[in-house]
Each structure stands twice: as structure tokens, then as C-alpha cells.
Chain A
């Protein structure tokens, strides 16, 4: 982890300096990059993660030797179709707002009897050691393809999560005094050749939120929203957020609510 961070750190610093000083680059280049993004999105290996996820969903595991099929993702026990589009949301059984990944952890522990340690053993995978979480997430989000995003917004806790997410988005800290807004809060920013979407406004939030999780070419793996937040924090030199923490769920909720109404595109493919 350290070596990788150092290497990435040196590269990212230089890139960020470039962000501040660089002029907008040619429209042609932008179009060609869009073409690249379009062409890799046609037929995503993410679909293979969906297939594996479907198998895992029905697999009996843990001390209780049970599958996850009884898991309530918000629309009732076992109802998977469309469930992701309604997350994050408030859950009465836990008394908190939960995103998909926090909910999956909960079901692994309660339905399957797996310990917290076991369920969290491999949250982010790599090519040699994949993560169950990534397969399961791919399957469940795939079942919300085309469904308009409708994260919970009526319960007081949901409103609170939205406000917390917004506050966190603009909260500057860490050794570089960064916040999410440093990169994602203003139009026209980029890191090297990648345009940075503005995530604090509906247009940018819609585009970003409806294309995660995604098969990430750089990792050759499907990466989830919890992973994306974790990696952003790493790049900002913040301490590592706890997986499924209130803070990460609040940030996800903030973007999900801003993305309201946009049809979910299904797991995407990204650089």
C-alpha cells in the first residue's frame, strides 16, 4: 500500500499542479476521448461480474449455511429488481441510512451468520484475489438497469444523511487541504487528459452516479462506489474511511439524491 501510494502520490501532485495552470485543451481531443469511452462501454466485462454475482447471491455460506436470497435491500426480502435505484435509504431494522454495500455486509452477518471480520476479509479485490462484494454488487446493480434513481429523501435520517454528505463534500482537510470539491466542485477542471465531473450539481452527479460501479480497465476489475470513495480519499491523502461508514454512505447519498430521476445505466466501463 505505501509503495503504491508514494508512486501515485508523486504522479498525482504533478498532475494537480497542471490542473491549476493548464489551459482548456482542444475540442477534437475531447471528442476522441469520448469516442474511446463510448467504444469501451459497448460490451463491458462487468457483465461477467454480474453472472458470478448472481451465483454468489444464491450460494449457501457461513455458519448458518444460508444464501443471501432473503436479504432485504429496501423493497422487501429477496426483492432485487429495482432495489439498487432506491438506495441509499433508511432501514428500520438497523435504524440508519445504508447503501448497497453496507446492506450486503449486514445480510452476510445476519442471514449467513458470518462474523464482521469474515465478511470484511476481502472488500476490494484484485485480479488474483477477487472480492465477493464486487460480484454481488455487480449483480444487484445490474438488476436496476433502466430504473430511475430514487434514493430515499423523505425520512428525517435520509435528509440528515444528505446534509452530512453535502458538508463532507465541501469539507477541506488532510495534508493538502483538499475536499471533494477541490476536484469535483467546479466546471472546467481536469487531471491530465481526464475531465473531472462536477458532482455537486445534478447534471454531473447524474452522469457519474448512473455509471458506477464500473469495470475499471486500470484494475481489470469491477470497482464499487465504496471503493471509489476510498480511492478518492487516498488520493486526497485523507485517513482511510471505514468501509460502509456513515460518512461514506452520506457522500453516496448526497450524489444519489442529486442524481434523482436519471435512469440507471448498469455497470459501466471506465478507464
Chain B
């Protein structure tokens, strides 16, 4: 499956090829078309289905993905998550919040020297595992961190 996808991508120039490949589900939409959006992934109700939509059905735990996030979030409306991938050759990162109604929260592609790093503020409906998936050399690596969401008192 991966090989076929890569071949199609390399030859992706003719609209016909792209259209056929897209229909066959071989292309990740965000690679082929500029302002497309991974609807299948973002609408997926489970992290497993969301990961399948980005081709990351098979992932390997990695200590080289660093997730910097508070263990306790005072307000689930804004939870800061900072991700760095030290896996060599990382070209993409995906962030999932497992207990959210739609776990896939973001996917980022890095090119031409942009570092595989992102800091983003996310909404968490409840305490949950935050999962990061990194794509490097056609393989997928993953790491998690648990973030607890509290019902705050005041905080100013």
C-alpha cells in the first residue's frame, strides 16, 4: 500500500493520475491538493480510525517524541501542547486527544528545513491521553502524555 502510494505521488502531475489515485484512497489529501482537509480523519470518532486516515495504522512507541504539556490544565478550553520530534527525518506530526469526541486535532507537514516542532493550544473535554504520531521515512512513531483537566475555582 505504501509503495503504491509513493509511486503515485512521484508521478503525480497528470490530473487523471491524481483523480484515480484519490478515488482509490491511495493519496493523503493534504499532499495532493493545497487547501484540502482530511475530513475522514477529523470526523473520525476514534483515535484508531483517525490514524488509519493518515496512513498511520501501524505505529511504534518512541522516546524520541517529546510532548511538553502540563499534567494539570486549569481550564480545558486552552491546553498548551508543545511537540518536538527527535526521530531523524520526521516530515509530519499529528496530534490526537483520545477522549475528545473527534480525537484528531491537527496534522502538520514540515518541508525545506522547517523543524518537526509545533506548539498549539487545544480544547480538551475531559482528562485524556494526548497522543502524537510522527512520520519519518514512511514509518510512524508515537508517544503519549496524560493531561488532567480540572474544574477550576478562580485563577484570577
A and B: direct contact (Cβ < 8 Å)? yes
**Min CB gap B63→A, angstroms:** 21
When distances are taken between beta carbons in the complex, the residues of chain A under 8 Å from B119 are: 42
CA A15 to CA B119, docked complex, whole Å: 33
When distances are taken between beta carbons in the complex, the residues of chain A under 8 Å from B33 are: none
- In this complex, how many residues of chain A approach chain B with their Cβ under 8 Å: the count is 27
Interface: B113 (CB within 8 A): no
When distances are taken between beta carbons in the complex, the residues of chain B under 8 Å from A220 are: 77
When distances are taken between beta carbons in the complex, the residues of chain B under 8 Å from A36 are: 70, 72-74, 79-80
Known: A217-B77, A217-B78. A193 touches B156 (CB 8 A): no
Give B108-156 interface residues, CB cut-off 8 Å to A.
119, 121, 150-156
Interface: B61 (CB within 8 A): no
Nearest A residue to B150, CB-CB? A193
B72 touches A32 (CB 8 A): yes
Chain B binding surface, main DSSP class: loop
CA A197 to CA B71, docked complex, whole Å: 22
B70 touches A193 (CB 8 A): no
When distances are taken between beta carbons in the complex, the residues of chain A under 8 Å from B75 are: 217-218, 271
B72 touches A29 (CB 8 A): yes
B156 touches A191 (CB 8 A): no
Interface: A182 (CB within 8 A): no
A228 touches B156 (CB 8 A): yes
Interface: B64 (CB within 8 A): no
B153 touches A15 (CB 8 A): yes
B156 touches A214 (CB 8 A): yes
Interface: A37 (CB within 8 A): yes
B151 touches A192 (CB 8 A): yes
Interface: B2 (CB within 8 A): no
Q: Which residue of the partner chain, among B68, B70, B78, B153, contacts A192 with CB atoms under 8 Å?
A: B153
Q: Which residue of the partner chain, among A32, A42, A217, A271, contacts B71 with CB atoms under 8 Å?
A: A32
CA A228 to CA B156, docked complex, whole Å: 8
A40 touches B80 (CB 8 A): yes
CA A37 to CA B152, docked complex, whole Å: 13
Known: A32-B70, A33-B70. A270 touches B78 (CB 8 A): no
B77 touches A194 (CB 8 A): no
Q: Which residue of the partner chain, among A32, A33, A271, contacts B156 with CB atoms under 8 Å?
A: A271
Interface: A17 (CB within 8 A): no
CA A196 to CA B152, docked complex, whole Å: 12
The CB with the most chain A CB atoms within 10 A, among B68, B79, B150, is that of B150
**Min CB gap A221→B, angstroms:** 12
Interface: B30 (CB within 8 A): no
The CB with the most chain A CB atoms within 10 A, among B68, B74, B78, B154, is that of B154
When distances are taken between beta carbons in the complex, the residues of chain A under 8 Å from B156 are: 194, 208, 211-212, 214, 216, 228, 270-271
Binding site for A on B (CB under 8 A): 68-75, 77-80, 82, 119, 121, 150-156
**Across the A-B interface, the 7 shortest Cβ-Cβ residue pairs:** A191-B153, A271-B155, A192-B153, A36-B70, A39-B80, A270-B156, A271-B74
